[in-house]
A and B are shown apart, each in its own frame.
Chain A
Amino acid sequence: MRTEIAGPGHSSRAQRTFTLTGRLLDALHIDGPLLLSVLAVCVVGLIVLYSAAGEDVRIFLGQAARVGLGLGVLTIVAQIPPRVMRIGAPFLYGLGLLLLIAVAVAGDVAMGAQRWLDLGFIRFQPSEIMKIAVPLCCAWYLHERPLPPDFTTLVIVALIVLVPTLLIAEQPDLGTALLVTAGGGLVILLAGLQLRYILGLGAVIAAAIPVVWKFLLHDYQRQRVLTFLNPQNDPLGAGYHTIQSQIAIGSGGIFGKGFMNGSQAQLEFLPERSTDFIFAVIGEEWGLVGCIVLMALYLLVIGRGLYIATQAQDTFTRLTAGSLTLLFSVYAFVNSGMVAGLLPVVGVPLPLVSYGGTSLVTLMAGFGILMAVHSRRKLVST
């Protein structure tokens, strides 16, 4: 009896809190479900990172601060009306292109690749901007045109994608180039690229592979592909990452070795365990169950993103939201596929989990765009 009396009291208070939070989120143009699922991935990431970084509190706090910074960026981006984004898209793209050229001319060389631009007070990678600017610009260009796109449109969009891609690939940064291409390509696919173009493109790519292999790829990139095909060829060199990450994942089993108990990670057998190969730490310490949980959380983010895209009310927002969401899934799949030995090793971090700020902030900005799209859909429709 008492519970019945207490029940409504509680629920009403809870409901009030819920409504209040809802209103606050609405006012901030934040989408609750998307925010929650993104935060869930971030929390998982921080937990895994704590173990992967060898209980280094400094690294853990640094990454937590970056998550906070990312959330700030997300909130700010969410305030921008999609219309402004659309108008700004070509300018952002132009700025990104200029910066890429600047990097090519005067960038910092770090770890053998010219990716960084030092502005005196901050060093950043202009290629990160392109991960968002390219989809935005493609969506902007396709916005006014009838869909599915005709050939001329396709050529122009292809140029919008390929110019920065080549600049980035020259740095060389294969992973980012791949993601930028994917971002633009996804826009085109979502815009309704006809099946015959898809098949034709497939044929062209197949034909281009030998050319790319021979003339465009750097030695180390070729090595990565070869190693992917047979890691045992070079177990202590190029194949070391793949072999060790598979040992880590495989030895984790169904339930894993337990938090901070992965010998591969803790005893430093696993290289780049807090950055690109952090997925192997999850596999080792949390097992198949942990991997499934992470994949489920990713699916929640992707599902919500796609839902937002389908609810979007004009071509620009639809294409933007859809491509950014799918880009996120490419991110996740490429990284986990590479760590699990399904794909060659490319420098793509595990989204929202890998240690490092740049990709996190870019992803958060992307989610901010999604939220901006979602919270203003009614305004657009009227």
Chain B
Amino acid sequence: MTRNSRLKDHHAEQRLFGRRVVAATLVIMVLLGALFARLFYLQVVRHDYFSELSQGNRIRIEPIPPPRGLLLDREGEPLALNRPAYQLELTREQTPDVEDTLARLVALGLLPADDVARTRRAIMARRAFDAVPVRLQLSEEELARFAVHRPDFPGVEIRPRLTRLYPHGGVGVHALGYVAAISEQDQERIDVSKYAGTTLIGKLGIERNYEELLHGETGYQQLLVNAQGRRVDRVGVTAPDLQRKEPIAGNDLYLTIDHRLQQVAETALGTQRAAVVAIDPRNGDVLAFVSTPTFDPNGFARGLTVPEYRALADNIDKPLIDRALRGVYPPGSTIKPFVALAALQYGVMAAEDTRYCRGVWQFPNSSRRFRDWKKQGHGTVDMHKAIAQSCDTYFYGVSDQIGIDRLHDFLVQFGLNEKTGIDILGERTGLVPSQAWKKKAFKKKELQVWFPGETVIAGIGQGYMLTTPLQLAHSTATLAMHGKRFQPRLVRAVRDSRTGAVASLPPRPLPDVKVDDPGYWDTIIGGMIGVVSPGGTAVRVQAGAPYKVAGKTGTAQVFSIGQNEKYNESQVSERLRDHALFIAFAPVDDPKIAIAVVVENGRHGGSTAGPIARAVFDAYLLPREAAPAAPPATPPAAPPAGGMDE
């Protein structure tokens, strides 16, 4: 502490230095103590907490979606399978910027620009830690393209998944339905946690109705992941016991559909807009369920682009509509056997009672003329001939005598005017009119009045009356069984994926149609045999067949003709032409198959719809080898087809 002329005092300096070193040592000790205290706090006091955090860091629970149950036809032919495919999945939680990521996927050509909005909604609807499919079924080239850019897409991964494959494309699509990516709306009808990891869900048809049986149970596995959330398999890190619960596959379904029959019917229909339903009358098994044109359900499993979907939805032939289930058509003359049965039951007409047909029918004291399809008339007609030749005037009179309400009460016993209860959604009820119905259906008082003329045309299946092809087939099956009814069904057995046991589902009987005299059935069926016999309206359905057929043709009016106009079919544009209908069953003595065929704008039940029924019968009833591949060629002596109604 001396002033200017200080000299260096080496000993004092050394002592000072010594003291400073001691002080420094003390400071170091204090700092080390602080560090030690901190480490002790982290590693001993809060060890459990941090251990848990580090576990959470490296273990991710990943769901393992179960393989979906298969759809097999009644013979075991696979109709819907699972196929491995690669898909692009995005996990919101691991994606820094979903919007930007989607935009860059579009730029890479891995996501159609039109799909961005829908994909974003799907992502936002799922939980943040769920991997949501962005693109299904990537091609090899797309896989490679993504692989190159993978580091730029945190949270986006390629995962091998099982996707749905419909090996026969559109065959039977309206019965099978299809699966597609789980949408926002689907979220509301499922237990989201049970669908973790599942991409596809049944949207329609059997795929939709039996979703619960088909889906199976989701398993899970714990994965070791790195900081990027990517799975790692590192030998170096002792993995804790990573748990794994195997998924339980969905149950396989044996359908009632006979794939071969289905194919025959679709081939026979070709490009026509039509529906065919074939039912085994003995148990309600739906053997063929056809609505054409069909569409390829594989597109939905893959994910249709917006234009692809628009093309299907806007198609003028409406392939997406299930005509068999949801198409409602006037039954036309196919209703006549049922009306005849009602006449017998109500005693308004006996089988042998005759009427004289002169080509038109009139109420007494009325100038309104109800025309027969055969202008010159059928002459003297009993019930057999009335059915066989489809005499309109006979049924005008009969239904007038029965009255609309009694006709209604009788027909609904066959399941008309209500859903058959088939095991797919969306069925329509059709319509059997009655006075009560008209009161409810119309608002205006003057329209609520039932006119007698409306009863008359109901007798030939026109006017308000509407049926679905499924209802027609079901009613025909009931006729074949003399009134015994079974609910139509598309699934006949379930194969449990765990045990492998196949459990047959019992047929579901419905209340019988009862008539006072069982002989009435034979009368009606006799008339229907007449339809396919010489002189009948569909003689070629029976021609050359070794089994006995009973059928009925029908033509449903699309385009109404004025009272005095002449219907000239060549002048009517194609889509306004009449629908062709045909119902039949065979063999008559031991019915194995009942069928309803509706060909839109097909004009004549006998010539257009009949051969299709014949082709299906042949395929089903003939020994398999002997069955002709194609429907029989037009026989040389085709009976003349009539006008508005055969």
Contact = CB atoms under 8 A, between A and B. Distances in A.
Contact of A268 (B32, B38, B47, B226): B226
B36 A190 contact: no
A248 interface: yes
B7 to A, nearest CB: 7
A266 interface: yes
Contact of A287 (B10, B28, B43, B57): B43
B42 A250 contact: yes
Contacts of B44: 253-254, 288
B236 A261 contact: yes
B22 to A, nearest CB: 9
Interface string A266-283: 111100000000000001
B225 A267 contact: yes
Nearest to B52: A251
Interface in A108-153: 144-148
A189 interface: yes
A318 interface: yes
Q: How would you classify the secondary structure of chain B's contact residues: helix, strand, loop or mixed? A: helix
A329 interface: yes
B50 A147 contact: no
A295 interface: yes
B230 to A, nearest CB: 9
Interface string B304-344: 00000000000000000000000000000000000000000
Contacts of A326: 24, 28
B238 A291 contact: no
Given A147-B8, A253-B43, A263 B227 contact: no
A310 B39 contact: no
A192 B13 contact: yes
Contact of A146 (B9, B43, B49, B225): B9
A322 B43 contact: no
Interface string A319-347: 10010001001000100110011100000
Interface string B223-256: 0111110001010111000000000000000000
A283 B24 contact: no
Given A250-B43, A342-B34, A263 B58 contact: yes
A291 B7 contact: no
A179 interface: no
A201 interface: no
B28 A318 contact: no
Contacts of B53: 247, 250-251
A246 B50 contact: yes
A261 B38 contact: no
A346 B24 CA distance: 23
Q: How would you classify the secondary structure of chain A's contact residues: helix, strand, loop or mixed? A: helix
Given A267-B58, A342-B35, A247 B50 contact: yes
Interface in A252-308: 252-254, 258, 260-264, 266-269, 283, 287-288, 291-292, 295, 299, 302, 306
B54 A340 contact: no
B237 A251 contact: no
Contact of B13 (A249, A251, A264, A315): A315
Interface string A190-212: 11100000000000000000000
Contacts of B14: 318
Contact of A254 (B24, B35, B36, B43): B43
Nearest to B24: A326
B58 A148 contact: no
Given A190-B21, A306-B24, A267 B16 contact: no
Given A249-B43, A288-B44, A306-B25, A264 B17 contact: no
Contacts of A318: 14, 17
B56 to A, nearest CB: 9
Interface in B40-72: 40, 42-44, 46-47, 49-51, 53-55, 57-58
Contacts of B38: 337, 340-342
Contacts of A56: none
A161 B540 CA distance: 114
Contact of B17 (A146, A192, A252): A192
Contact of B35 (A309, A315, A322, A336): A336
Contacts of A253: 43-44, 47, 51
By size class, the interface of chain B is 35 or more
B31 interface: yes
B18 A251 contact: no
Given A250-B51, A333-B35, A310 B57 contact: no
Contact of B227 (A268, A315, A322): A268
B6 A146 contact: yes
A287 B51 CA distance: 12
A310 B57 CA distance: 49
Given A264-B54, A318-B17, A340 B28 contact: no
B17 A247 contact: no
Nearest to A291: B39
Greatest chain B CB density within 10 A among A144, A148, A267, A309 is at A267
Contacts of A186: 24
A310 B43 contact: no
A362 B487 CA distance: 91
A287 B225 CA distance: 23
A306 B21 contact: yes
A267 B34 CA distance: 30
A55 interface: yes
Contacts of A315: 8, 10, 13
B20 interface: yes
A319 B44 CA distance: 40
Nearest to A146: B6
B5 to A, nearest CB: 9
A190 B16 CA distance: 8
A309 B47 contact: no
B339 to A, nearest CB: 77
Given A146-B7, A250-B51, A258-B238, A299 B32 contact: yes
A259 B6 CA distance: 59
Nearest to B12: A147
B13 to A, nearest CB: 5
B409 to A, nearest CB: 73
A39 to B, nearest CB: 21
A260 B24 CA distance: 36
A250 B36 CA distance: 13
A299 B35 CA distance: 13
A251 B47 CA distance: 5
A295 B36 contact: yes
Given A251-B51, A267-B227, A337-B35, A322 B42 contact: no
A230 to B, nearest CB: 17
A266 B21 CA distance: 41
B178 to A, nearest CB: 41
Interface string A223-257: 00000000000000000000000111111111000
A84 B563 CA distance: 130
A190 to B, nearest CB: 5
Nearest to A266: B237
20 contacts: A247-B53, A247-B57, A249-B39, A249-B42, A250-B42, A250-B43, A250-B54, A251-B51, A254-B43, A258-B238, A260-B237, A261-B236, A266-B234, A267-B237, A283-B42, A288-B43, A291-B39, A295-B32, A340-B42, A342-B38
Interface of A: 55, 144-148, 186, 189-192, 246-254, 258, 260-264, 266-269, 283, 287-288, 291-292, 295, 299, 302, 306, 309-310, 315, 318-319, 322, 326, 329, 333, 336-337, 340-342
The 10 closest A-B pairs by CB, nearest first: A250-B50, A251-B54, A146-B6, A250-B42, A267-B226, A192-B16, A269-B227, A251-B50, A288-B43, A251-B51
Given A192-B16, A288-B39, A333-B28, 20 more contacts: A146-B6, A146-B7, A190-B17, A247-B53, A250-B47, A250-B51, A254-B44, A254-B47, A262-B237, A263-B54, A263-B58, A264-B54, A264-B57, A268-B226, A269-B54, A302-B28, A306-B24, A310-B18, A315-B8, A326-B28
